[in-house]
Chains A and B, each alone.
Chain A
Amino acid sequence: MPRSSTWEKVEPADWRSTIEELRDKGFIFFDFLTGVDQENVDGSNACEVVAHLATKDLSSSHFVSTQVFGELPSITDLIPAAQWHERECTEMFGIQFIGGSANPLLRHEYLGRPPLRKSTVLAARVLTPWPGAAEPEIKEDGRKVGNASRRRQRPPGVPENWLQT
């Protein structure tokens, strides 16, 4: 684990230049690049892209993040090792990396939606009866006459009226 790590949030326009600057400053160990869905954080359909770079001796490391709406310039010409991560990010989060590789990584057709986005609803969660929807029942003579709470509960990850839309 690096002894000191810094976090930096940049504009998408400064994404490439920040990475290039860091690389030239000696942060030549590329650890990873991944997406972080921001939907439940700020309600937008944005996705954060985070890259982690470290110095060769791992004594110092730098996290760079940027908020992305759909596309971001690729950094594969600066750091070739980032290609695999960008392709994964494209498949899992639906982020297009301009100038990056167009080869799919696993090529699974997933309803045309990126599987790691929170907005991608898993049908099994909708179709399986959620045990958490039950409430303590009010019974008379052993028969159910109502529920103790009128608040309707939905399982996590299933939007309201998802089947109807």
Chain B
Amino acid sequence: MKHSFIALIEDKCTSCMLCVRECPAWCIHLDSHTVDVTDEGARRPKKVNVLDSFEIDYSLCMYCGVCIDVCPFDALAWDEHRALVTTNREDMLLGIEELGPSGSS
């Protein structure tokens, strides 16, 4: 596996913030909100986090893989995505859409 890209598997992310807090470069930004979900037969609703946005700033990322290691739900993974070359520094900020694993698109 090439260590050339860190991909986000959106469905697995629970917005627990662990990757954001452990990142030594502070290059991950995550926004989420909480909703009440009532399961059938449950007595009271449970709180569920919904991921609003997830961004990795690849101009800062040092590909250390700490975020991949700490993710308890394997929502982040090494990926053989294309190497990232841009003409704008802002284009290095990748959101949920661009972070999808290479097999999915």
In the complex, are there CB atoms of A and B closer than 8 Å? yes
The chain A residues found within 8 Å of chain B, CB to CB, are 128, 130-132, 134-139, 144, 148, 153, 155
- Could you tell me the distance in whole angstroms from the C-beta of A84 to the nearest C-beta in chain B? 29
Complex interface: chain B residues within 8 A of A148 (CB): 34, 47, 49
Query: For the complex, what is the distance from the CA of A22 to the CA of B61, rounded to whole Å?
Result: 45
What does DSSP make chain B's interface, helix, strand, loop or mixed? strand
Complex interface: chain B residues within 8 A of A131 (CB): 20, 23, 26, 28-30
Complex interface: chain A residues within 8 A of B30 (CB): 131, 134
A137-B33 contact, Cβ under 8 Å, with A128-B26, A148-B47? yes
Number of residue pairs across A and B with beta carbons under 8 Å?
39
- Could you tell me the distance in whole angstroms from the C-beta of B57 to the nearest C-beta in chain A? 9
On whether the beta carbons of A136 and B33 are closer than 8 Å, the reply is yes
On whether the beta carbons of B17 and A135 are closer than 8 Å, the reply is yes
Query: For the complex, what is the distance from the CA of A128 to the CA of B25, rounded to whole Å?
Result: 11
A136-B28 contact, Cβ under 8 Å, with A148-B47, A148-B49, A153-B21? no
On whether the beta carbons of B49 and A132 are closer than 8 Å, the reply is no
Closest to A144 in B: B33
3 A-B pairs with the lowest CB-CB distances in the bound complex, closest first = A132-B21, A136-B32, A139-B33
Query: For the complex, what is the distance from the CA of A148 to the CA of B28, rounded to whole Å?
Result: 20
Complex interface: chain A residues within 8 A of B28 (CB): 131
- Could you tell me the distance in whole angstroms from the C-beta of B70 to the nearest C-beta in chain A? 12
